[in-house]
Structure 1
Amino acid sequence: MTKPVRLPLHVLVLGGDGIGPEVTAQALRVLRRMQAKHDLPLTIEEQPFGNATWRATGSLMPAETHAAVDRADAVLFGAADSLGRAAMPAEERARGSLLSLRRRLGLFANLRPVRTERALDAVSPFKPQTLAGVDLVFVRELSGGVYYGEPRGIERDADGRRRGINTHIYDEDQIIRAARFAFALARGRRGLLTSVDKANVMEAGALWRQVVTALHHDEFRDVRMEHMLADTCALMLNREPRRFDVILTDNLFGDVLSDAAAGLAGSLGLLPSGSLSAPRPDGRRRALYEPVHGSAPDIAGKGVANPLAAILSVALLLRWSAGAEEAAQEVEAAVTAALDAGARCADIALPGEAALGTEAMGEAVLARL
């Protein structure tokens, strides 16, 4: 796998909707702290994006934001609120959607690491012996599948009944590049790749299994590989999550299964993600880093959202885009130290425990850096 190169890095910050700006502000504080501490060659730019921008300018992504996306090496993203866009013209929704942003950046591999913190054993619904040592990562193929397939839409049949249509489609090139990335990642971890599909009922799943099997035979025989149906994977994430190392799957299953795995960590507010493009000539990938959680409009503006997923997304940015592994590990260790010391936001606080606000949790992490 191509190693990140320590080159000047242009980082674009898009806070987005709902709690996005709040948690991103704390993540940005951590990024600037690490930039200063490790003398990282970062240029950081902030631009408007989201529903508030549309209300102010008539566009989710104004021209200056589009231009900033084009020149960015990495994007630090907050959240997008699709439900709040129902009143917008369909063309504007599509132009400023997260899917269009991913496509514009050429992203295809979505990393979603899931690690458990012993300090949060009581928060998770799982037994401590189930949680101990869980350290897995999803590689979700991000450019194909049902989210992009055509035809799609809602239509009426001859009798006037409405029918919703979505198409699940993959070509073998999309599968190969995601699988090659996942195999290489597994080779540098514990050496096990679990490829997840529904080959028993879906032709695209059957192709997925065939292509992954062939790639394993041709290029990655040193990596252990197993196939697993998506429903079996959901069960095993509940029963024996420690058995997993790298889980490779498609766009839809990756979305659903990784969100379900948040129960292991204790909250969606703890799960970061990074989406990567193919390597450019300089060896670096364009990337977008964001917390897995959504915009949470019900708590937006209250200052109570958990910023740890956004802060851990900065760790991924430091590792994969800035080539700063030491800084990445320091951020992750600071989050662990804050949790070990009892720092809790409302989503991970037990009944009767004091809960920190968004800014206070950011301070708790910064204090340990």
Structure 2
Amino acid sequence: MTTYKLFLLAGDGIGPEVMAEVEKIIRHFASEGVAKFEIEKGLVGGSAYDAHGAAISDADVKRAADADAVMFGAVGGPKWDGVPYDVRPESGLLRLRKDLGLYANLRPAICYPALAAASSLKREVVEGLDIMIVRELTGGVYFGEPKQIIDLGNGQKRAIDTQVYDTYEIERIGRVAFDLAKRRGNKVTSADKRNVMKSGVLWNEVMTALHAREYPDVKLEHQLADALGMQLVRWPKQFDVIVTDNLFGDMLSDVAAMLTGSLGMLPSASLGDADPKTGKRRALYEPVHGSAPDIAGRGMANPIAMIGSFGMALRYSFGLNQAADRLEKAIAEVLAEGLRTADIKSEGSRVVSTAEMGDAIVAELAQQAAESVTDEEN
């Protein structure tokens, strides 16, 4: 049986609560003999700052680099609003992305049939929605230099953020998008702001050339990022794979997330280059939602995004596609049975706690396993 090394960084707020539910899923799959999982745990975000004055320690960055996959909860909260900018809780995640070379962020936006009514859009607009947003994660305006605030005197200041992209950065994220599209609906929509930004001009040129050179069999369309945002709320099912830069990917993925009814529902994966010898990618998996300090410790958090993130780890890091399929089916079945956490409750549903939702998904997985044994015996 293959053994996989998992490094868990629960973080702050509801992070530890939703991570606890992932541990239940891990234990269940291990008990079935799907795989063995070696688990290490570390600190990130505000909890790491409290422990040693940094958003993540050098030792934990090394543990993350050595793991087969990193599971990341959430960071931040008002408790740390006054800490210096370079050690704020969010900087721990940024360091992991940079040091591990996690340049490709995959954010699926999937609308489970049972939750179509929870969206703010009409059922027919979102029912059956299945989009994958591929966001470039280690370049662009979040990492470009110079990045500073200059005191100009006379009460005036100037803030500078720099949007920078090189050809290779655009090509590698483009390849991820095209490769994903070939396994899905065979369509890529590339979003930029070439009408007002030079980085957008280059983005468009590189994506067009890459498509012609390496992926002519995949359909490619270009849209301005603001127009794409409008189309996401008008008719999102026109899209399959969307690829865009760091800034626009941050915004558009949150728009797409809310199409499904709740940020608490959606997972994400951040991937690096494949090792040329082993084929393995460094990878970090996290829910799209934040630390939600207002409900932390109250058992109200929705663990599905965190559990779904582990499902993406099963698929993209471990190659356990059947287990990933089973986990997605278990989530859908539990929702179809009417179980809801508070953020997705609806008329006629039964509101459950964070732990109860995790338990229900584990029970559904166990039921699947039992039915499989029965089918084999018959």
TM range (shorter): over 0.9
* Worse overlay, 94-103 or 169-178: 94-103
Aligned ranges 1:60-75 → 2 under 5 Å: 60-75=55-70
Match of 2:151 in 1: 156
Conserved 8 A contact 1:346-1:355: yes
Match of 2:37 in 1: 42
Conserved 8 A contact 1:94-1:100: no
Give the Å deviation of 1:56: 3.5
Give the Å deviation of 1:91: 4.4
Q: CA RMSD in A?
A: 1.8
Give the Å deviation of 1:53: 3.5
Paired residue secondary structure (2:118): coil
Considering Cα pairs closer than 8 Å and 6+ residues apart, tell me whether 1 or 2 has the greater RCO.
1
Conserved 8 A contact 1:115-1:265: yes
Aligned ranges 1:182-331 → 2 under 5 Å: 182-280=177-275, 281-331=277-327
Deviation per CA, 1:34-69, whole angstroms, max 9, x where unpaired? 233243143221122232333244343245423312
Deviation per CA, 1:19-47, whole angstroms, max 9, x where unpaired? 11111110121122123324314322112
Percent identical residues: 46
1:27 equivalent to 2:5? Answer: no
1:167 equivalent to 2:169? Answer: no
Residue 341 of structure 1 aligns with an amino acid whose one-letter code is E
Q: TM-score, normalised by structure 1?
A: 0.94
Match of 2:117 in 1: 122
Give the Å deviation of 1:126: 1.2
Conserved 8 A contact 2:140-2:245: yes
Conserved 8 A contact 1:16-1:77: yes
* Worse overlay, 113-122 or 270-279: 113-122
Deviation per CA, 1:96-133, whole angstroms, max 9, x where unpaired? 52111111111010000111111112211111111122
Deviation per CA, 1:239-272, whole angstroms, max 9, x where unpaired? 1111111000111111111111122211000010
Give the Å deviation of 1:162: 2.0
Residue 229 of structure 2 aligns with an amino acid whose one-letter code is A
Q: TM-score, normalised by structure 2?
A: 0.92
1:106 equivalent to 2:101? Answer: yes
* Worse overlay, 120-129 or 197-206: 120-129
Conserved 8 A contact 1:9-1:321: no
Paired residue secondary structure (1:221): coil
Conserved 8 A contact 1:38-1:327: no
Conserved 8 A contact 2:339-2:352: yes
Distance (whole Å) between structure 2 residues aligned to residue 140 and residue 340 of structure 1: 31
Question: Which runs of 5 or more structure 1 residues have no equivalent in the other structure?
Answer: 1-5
1:356 equivalent to 2:352? Answer: yes
1:336 equivalent to 2:332? Answer: yes
Deviation per CA, 1:205-233, whole angstroms, max 9, x where unpaired? 01000000000000000000000111111
Distance (whole Å) between structure 1 residues aligned to residue 348 and residue 237 of structure 2: 31
Match of 1:3 in 2: none
1:14 equivalent to 2:9? Answer: yes
Give the Å deviation of 1:134: 1.1
Residue 306 of structure 2 aligns with an amino acid whose one-letter code is A
Paired residue secondary structure (1:157): strand
Distance (whole Å) between structure 2 residues aligned to residue 41 and residue 180 of structure 1: 32
Deviation per CA, 1:311-336, whole angstroms, max 9, x where unpaired? 00010000001110000001100000
* Cα separation, partners in 2 of 1:122 and 1:262, compared to 1, 3 Å: same
Paired residue secondary structure (2:117): coil
Deviation per CA, 1:143-175, whole angstroms, max 9, x where unpaired? 101110111122221433122211111111100
Conserved 8 A contact 1:145-1:169: yes
Aligned residues: 364
Residue 304 of structure 1 aligns with an amino acid whose one-letter code is M
Distance (whole Å) between structure 2 residues aligned to residue 90 and residue 133 of structure 1: 41
Question: Which runs of 5 or more structure 2 residues have no equivalent in the other structure?
Answer: 366-378
Paired residue secondary structure (2:195): coil
Distance (whole Å) between structure 2 residues aligned to residue 333 and residue 121 of structure 1: 16
Residue 319 of structure 1 aligns with an amino acid whose one-letter code is R
Paired residue secondary structure (1:276): strand
